[in-house]
Chains A and B, each alone.
Chain A
Amino acid sequence: MTINQVQDAIIEDFSVFDDWMEKYNLLIDMGKELPVIDPRFKTKNYLIEGCQSKVWLHPEFNGQKITFSADSDALITRGIVALLIKVLSNRTPDEIISSELYFIDRIGLRQNLSPTRSNGLLSMVRQIKLYAIAFKTMIKQE
């Protein structure tokens, strides 16, 4: 599936619920299902600044695609991280760099998460894109 197909699928998943509690329950479930990150990567180096709860994000590049693993100490945040990984993990740097993340607005994440939390979300996206740019530069140099 392309990035946009995954985004559309997520929007579909969330559209079933009118009630915010149910949307949060879905996020919490997704958070619980997020595969655990290797404890070696739960260090300051992989901590993302700008989130009120802690988020660790680790990229793995195989020369073609970047795979992300991540974790957070708050479960709702873990759910958000899980969504981002669903959309952006196992993609080429170019795919990530050129992606436009419209699902965040469409499922109401931006409006319904508090501004500080929303900043955290944007910090995560920014960090993912920065990794993609870094790996792309790396390929060019090789």
Chain B
Amino acid sequence: MKDISEIRADFPVLRRLVYGKPLIYFDNGATTQKPESVIEAVKEVFTTYNSNIHRGVHALSDKASEEYEKAREKVRSFINASKREEVVFTSGTTGSINSIAFTFGERYIKRGDEIILSHLEHHSNIVPWQLLCERKGAELRIIPINDKGEILFDEYLKLLSRKTKLVAVTQVSNALGTILPVRKIIEAAHSLNIPVLVDGAQGVQHGVVDVTAMDCDFYVFSGHKIYGPTGIGVMYGKEKWLAALPPYQGGGDMVENVTFEKTTYNELPFKFEAGTMNYPAAIGLGCALDYVLSIGRENIEAMEQDLLHYATEKLSRIKGLRIYGSSEKKIPTISFLLDGIHQYDTVMILDKMGIAVRTGTHCAQPVMARYGIEGTVRASLCFYNTKEEIEMLGTGIEKVLSMFS
């Protein structure tokens, strides 16, 4: 296995300086950096075989289509979907969820129905359902959380009823790092024949994801959060659902036969891929998944858990620092505030020290409201980060404390 300096050498951005200081990139929850192999793969598309997919009968188009479909197969295998027909490329997690909200929503949701979400959702897994509820006269039901940032499972069980038409939950909280018990959530929903959508935006890059074992009905994620390019995402859906749902958008490539009287749709997964897809990004994503597998997902998980424990231990010892989200099961994301110091003041000074962390509500305002705060500072780590960088964050925070006290 590669050692940490070899891993870091794979990511060109990690070599750069910020304000003359080495970059410490702790904003992986927002987007991850890209390994050289991904950058090269995208470059190779444009320099050697760029051509629109599934359309031309010529060498370049064949090659591009073949690589695009290879990428789909890589995604299928990565998440262990049973068929490639179940893997739809989208623009990202947001695109995937909106697509399901429209198609599933149009077909199955009616007045008085309920959709269950958790209190930990990103706005991307709240707003599309809210819009759907407004269109249909349906209602949202929210699984509450405890102070540690864990969902209250018994409360979830109480929310499940005949009215429930869908459960849509995140695999991992982007704001607090909590890993949700999705397997148990799905089991309980399925016992009442309720389908479950899992938002894997913050989950897919931190461990082994097996949609077959998980038994989710839909699983969505973004390419750019798993070391792939931006503008590409995945919508996995069980074939029985995808076959039953109407198309989301109409356009080229998603049709079989078009007359002005009637259009018949292409087979899965193309029914959901209208217009020219972002095939260079899809190919880049396939390459990113290869990279993750080359490091090994169990290895990544072990490295990240080690970083999480080190950082939690380190930061907890700083007087005046309060961590939000203390679930037993977390990804290496640490949300915190310094007593009496505004989060913007904190990140502004950290930035000047070359440390990139995020501040604000992290597109999860309900989570912030639950704690009665307006935002946090979020350090979201991943396997290419180091303990030395965590030490530097500690030093940076001490500096902030000394400047503002």
Residues of A in contact with B (beta carbons under 8 Å apart): 20-21, 24-25, 28, 52-53, 73-77, 113-114, 117
Contact = CB atoms under 8 A, between A and B. Distances in A.
A24 B360 contact: no
Interface residues of B, number: 15
A21 B348 CA distance: 10
B349 interface: yes
Contacts of A53: 342, 344
Given A20-B352, A52-B344, A75 B404 contact: yes
Contacts of A74: 342-345
Given A24-B349, A24-B403, A73 B19 contact: no
B346 to A, nearest CB: 9
Given A28-B404, A52-B360, A76 B352 contact: no
A76 B360 contact: no
Interface string B316-352: 0000000000000000000000000111110011011
Given A24-B349, A77-B344, 12 more contacts: A21-B349, A21-B399, A24-B403, A25-B403, A52-B344, A52-B359, A74-B342, A74-B343, A75-B345, A75-B404, A77-B342, A114-B348
Nearest to B349: A24
B404 A24 contact: no
Nearest to A77: B344
A28 B348 CA distance: 12
Interface of B: 19, 341-345, 348-349, 351-352, 359-360, 399, 403-404
A67 B121 CA distance: 45
A20 B403 CA distance: 13
A10 to B, nearest CB: 19
Nearest to A120: B344
3 residue pairs, one from A and one from B, having the closest CB atoms = A74-B342, A74-B344, A53-B344
A113 B360 CA distance: 16
Contacts, number: 38
B288 to A, nearest CB: 28
B345 A76 contact: yes
A74 B359 CA distance: 13
B19 A20 contact: yes
Contacts of A20: 19, 352
Nearest to B347: A114
Contacts of A114: 348, 351
Given A25-B403, A28-B404, A52-B360, A75 B342 contact: yes
A76 B19 contact: no
A74 B345 CA distance: 6
B26 to A, nearest CB: 16
Contacts of A21: 349, 352, 399, 403
A9 to B, nearest CB: 24
Contacts of A75: 341-342, 345, 404
Contacts of B343: 74
B287 to A, nearest CB: 31
A53 to B, nearest CB: 5
B208 to A, nearest CB: 36
Nearest to B359: A52
Contacts of A52: 344, 359-360
A73 B403 contact: no
B351 A28 contact: no
A28 B400 CA distance: 11
A25 B349 CA distance: 10
Contacts of B345: 74-77
A73 B349 contact: no
Nearest to B342: A74
| Listed residue (B341, B344, B399) with the most chain A CB atoms within 10 angstroms of its CB | B344
B167 to A, nearest CB: 34
A5 to B, nearest CB: 29
Nearest to A21: B352
9 contacts: A20-B352, A24-B348, A25-B403, A28-B404, A73-B342, A74-B344, A75-B342, A77-B342, A77-B344
